Chain A
Amino acid sequence: MPKTFIIIPVHNEQRSVALVIKAVRKQGFNNIIVVDDGSVDDSVKLVQKSGARLITHAINRGKGAATKTGIDAALVLGADYLITMDGDGQHDPHDIPKLLSPLSRGFDVVLGYRTFSLMPFMKKIANILSNIFTGLLYGIWAKDSMCGFKGYTAGAARTIDPHQDDYEFENEIIAEIARHQLRFSQVPVRTIYTNYSSHKSTRLDLPHAAKIVYKLLFTP
């Protein structure tokens, strides 16, 4: 039986993190790594109470950095398959087996994709632009390049070497898949847009998006 680890990066997610952990457990996955990325709310206390494995960043370094820390920890702990998902409750743990299935069939990476029609308007625009940008730059036309619900085999997780700390991390994963010619599959995932997950502030505003594009284009 392959050892599967669920990695959940969180930053100030006290409203959702305990529910996400509970829902993941309900699906039969007990190897849960929560990476707290410098939260200033009660996220840490709630994770400790839940009994999930907690790793903390002393200061906030971004979703990409937290995900990388979770991936490294899972590899140290002997994971065979790794699933990354958001801590705000927008990903449905029922979809975890759907992500694991292609991995057990020999794929290296599985990319979840959300239904764009249900997405808030501004997020939809940002995601479409990100897909076009990623496709032009790396030659992989991902259906949802910004989705954090992904699956990796341990081998792929060791091979992929992203450097970006924030949301551009998701685009970099696509770049790494192309660079290492990894076998990937895309599966539809359900997205739960609660009032909270739709309106929580992210750093995905226009200046930040411009910085992401600049960094992906001009930094090595």
Chain B
Amino acid sequence: MKIKTLIFSGIWTGIAVLAIFPQVSHYISQRLGIGVGNNLNVLIFTGFVVAFAFIHKLIHDTDHLEQTITKLVRAQSLLSVKRNSRRSRN
């Protein structure tokens, strides 16, 4: 929990710093050697891939959750039908 809080605090602080001082991004990219040649394109493309993977995971998880809810709702609604059918057979 503490590590998670630390990571998220770091991310949000980074976003806040970049929003207030955009020139920081230029300084960082120069220090890291990106922004020269095709490096930036690779970085942007990787960003897209990561974002797509996140969205896919999110949709998949939501879908799984929805299917679990549906299973429960359907099972509960069919209980009386199954009970009555068993009773009439006995």
Q: Which residues of A contact B (CB under 8 A)?
A: 35, 55-59, 61-62, 65, 68-69, 72-73, 76-77, 163, 165, 211, 214-215, 218-219
Cβ contacts B48-90/A at 8 Å (1 or 0 each): 0000000010011001001101100110111011100100000
In contact, A72 and B74 (Cβ under 8 angstroms): yes
B80's closest neighbor in chain A, by CB?
Answer: A55
The answer to whether B63 touches A219 (Cβ under 8 A) is yes
Q: Is the CB of A68 within 8 A of B76?
A: no
- Contact between chains at A61 and B85 (CB < 8 Å): no
Q: DSSP class of A's interface residues: helix, strand, loop or mixed?
A: mixed
Is there contact, CB below 8 Å, between B85 and A58?
Answer: no
| Cα(A72)–Cα(B73), bound, Å | 13
Question: For residue B79, which residue of chain A has the nearest CB?
Answer: A55
Besides A55-B78, A73-B78, A215-B59, 7 new A-B residue pairs in contact (Cβ under 8 A), listed by A number: A58-B76, A68-B74, A69-B77, A69-B78, A165-B67, A211-B59, A219-B63
Q: Inside 8 A of B74's CB, which chain A residues have their CB? A: 57, 61, 65, 68-69, 72
A215-B63 in contact (CB<8A): yes
